[in-house]
Chain A
């Protein structure tokens, strides 16, 4: 017997999930010490320089001078306003921007799923819940950091592109996709592989339709928005993609040991997923940080000094997160592959865009971590891969929805599994 969620229940569930996510992210903003977020002090130096002096910081003034300026401009202006009006903590508006963007990412995942498979309501809900309960997204949404804004802008651009690829490109959709993607690139460099993926997808679409104007307009618009920043970086720092440390000399192939690629201590990620274990082993380090908090910047004391012990609660909570993440990780990987197969099999560039973004972001990320190795592992962070969250959560939902028996009992079981997935994580996600 085929079952489907009724329209009414579907919208009740959507609103409930988004409202709960909004409450969660706001609560966390108010309970998270902004200084514990990644690069928090350097971010504040950057934001104050842009907000107060209306210029970019030098390399001496902020350790994140290499990051594009959009979020810093917004956070800096709000910071100035907060100080002028005595709103209390001047960094809080910047955190609220990150939280609003985190909520927007969840909504965009839902819209992307609806755009690709309009009739599959369970798929939409599974994707929404998985995205909303992703620890990396929840943590990034509480930080004084540009990551979530970049993801929201990039996902918006991808949504416009997917819609146009499914229907037809107009001048407005071409300009819109290009502008949103350009703004994403103006927020965080991790949007660049997403831009590349969209341009490739639109190019493949142009090959079949014989219309090249959308490719030109999307690319040109993104370049117009992003170009000045890249030119500034090239002129001021010698590279459009400058980073805050020079890459070491020598071959890229020798910059990381074999253990970086193989992750030999992966099993320990399920039992003790915190620093300093398996530092700089890509897979376990990234996995532990996505589902938990490898570097101990969330609800924990700072990393202990040598010889000191962490409270056992801290390790146990993160170990539980690591175990909870196993099945979703397998399903998300499967989903990205499955959606790619469907796209190739049906020659659908709209369907293929999401797995293409995941592939591009993953490849760019690995290249980055290899080109810029670090001894303390600070270039390996789960939040750096948030650009792949829409592809991962929608892919997971696609697998679940495609393989489920069409019975009411199965639908209820999936609902119960989602509730359990969220409930088990609540102690970690809520500060």
Chain B
């Protein structure tokens, strides 16, 4: 049987097949990875940092519906004797929503919104207390 001549269309189809295989292989690797691995969330990274680098004890937030509505999660800890509830927003809009929800209670300096982190302190925080949470922001 005589070999088929390589027309432009045939070359293009072969090229497409190679490209689809390459891109498909990349997608397969990526899908396999995403199904078997979870990259740590900002909350998980912050929790690990507060525990391991700051030596703090992390607790679950139980009685704060505003914090519990944060899409990035929430945690509670005590920094130098001051209780803080940290919430993680996933967008600026959500951070503003959390600020507004807390703001109705007029928390003053007890509320500290910095990027994706919304911190509500039990008492006005000292600079070193604030810095502890800033150090563990991701």
Chain B positions within 8 Å of A334 at CB level: 12, 15-16, 18-20
- Within 51-109 of B, Cβ neighbours of A (below 8 Å) are at 89, 91-93, 95
Q: Can you offer 28 A-B residue contacts whose CB atoms are under 8 A?
A: A264-B29, A264-B32, A264-B33, A264-B37, A265-B34, A267-B30, A267-B31, A267-B34, A284-B30, A307-B114, A307-B116, A308-B114, A312-B91, A312-B92, A312-B93, A330-B16, A331-B19, A333-B18, A334-B12, A334-B15, A338-B14, A338-B16, A341-B15, A345-B11, A398-B12, A399-B15, A402-B11, A403-B12
Q: Does A306 contact B (CB under 8 A)?
A: yes
Q: Does A304 contact B (CB under 8 A)?
A: yes
Q: Is the CB of A309 within 8 A of B9?
A: no
Chain A positions within 8 Å of B14 at CB level: 337-338, 341
Known: A307-B117, A346-B6, A399-B12. A333 touches B29 (CB 8 A): no
Q: Give the secondary structure class of A's interface.
A: helix
Q: Does B44 contact A (CB under 8 A)?
A: no
A264 and B34 CA atoms in complex are apart in Å by 8
- Within 340-374 of A, Cβ neighbours of B (below 8 Å) are at 341-342, 345-346
Q: Is the CB of B92 within 8 A of A402?
A: no
Chain A positions within 8 Å of B131 at CB level: none
Q: Is the CB of A330 within 8 A of B11?
A: no
Q: Is the CB of A307 within 8 A of B91?
A: no
- Within 399-418 of A, Cβ neighbours of B (below 8 Å) are at 399, 401-403
Give which listed residue, B18, B19, B137, contacts A306 with CB less than 8 A. Answer: B137
Number of interface residues of B (CB under 8 A): 38
Chain A positions within 8 Å of B33 at CB level: 262, 264-265
A283 and B29 CA atoms in complex are apart in Å by 12
Among residues of B, the one whose C-beta sits closest to the C-beta of A270 is: B30
List 14 extra interface pairs beyond A334-B20, A339-B15, CB under 8 A. A262-B33, A264-B37, A265-B34, A304-B115, A307-B134, A309-B92, A309-B95, A312-B93, A330-B20, A342-B11, A398-B8, A401-B8, A402-B12, A403-B9
Q: Does A266 contact B (CB under 8 A)?
A: yes
A265 and B22 CA atoms in complex are apart in Å by 16
Residue of B9, B15, B117 most packed against chain A (CB within 10 A): B15
Chain A positions within 8 Å of B18 at CB level: 333-334, 337
Chain A positions within 8 Å of B92 at CB level: 309, 311-312
Say how far A287's CB is from chain B's closest CB, in angstroms. 9
Q: Is the CB of A263 within 8 A of B19?
A: no
Q: Is the CB of B16 within 8 A of A306?
A: no
Chain A positions within 8 Å of B91 at CB level: 309, 312
Q: Is the CB of A266 within 8 A of B30?
A: yes
- Within 289-338 of A, Cβ neighbours of B (below 8 Å) are at 304-309, 311-312, 329-331, 333-338
Query: 3 nearest interchain CB pairs?
Result: A307-B137, A338-B15, A264-B33
Q: Is the CB of A266 within 8 A of B29?
A: yes
Q: Does B122 contact A (CB under 8 A)?
A: no
Among residues of A, the one whose C-beta sits closest to the C-beta of B29 is: A262
Say how far A268's CB is from chain B's closest CB, in angstroms. 8
Give which listed residue, B6, B27, B39, B117, contacts A342 with CB less than 8 A. Answer: B6
Q: Is the CB of B116 within 8 A of A338?
A: no
Known: A267-B34, A336-B15. A342 touches B8 (CB 8 A): yes
Chain B positions within 8 Å of A337 at CB level: 14-15, 18-19
Chain B positions within 8 Å of A402 at CB level: 7-9, 11-12
Give which listed residue, B8, B23, B114, B137, contacts A330 with CB less than 8 A. Answer: B23
Chain B positions within 8 Å of A336 at CB level: 15
Chain B positions within 8 Å of A305 at CB level: 115
Chain A positions within 8 Å of B37 at CB level: 264
Give which listed residue, A329, A341, A403, contacts B23 with CB less than 8 A. Answer: A329
Q: Does B41 contact A (CB under 8 A)?
A: no
Among residues of A, the one whose C-beta sits closest to the C-beta of B15 is: A338
A334 and B23 CA atoms in complex are apart in Å by 10
A339 and B16 CA atoms in complex are apart in Å by 11
A308 and B27 CA atoms in complex are apart in Å by 30
Known: A341-B11, A402-B8. A308 touches B31 (CB 8 A): no
A312 and B16 CA atoms in complex are apart in Å by 35
Chain B positions within 8 Å of A345 at CB level: 5-6, 11
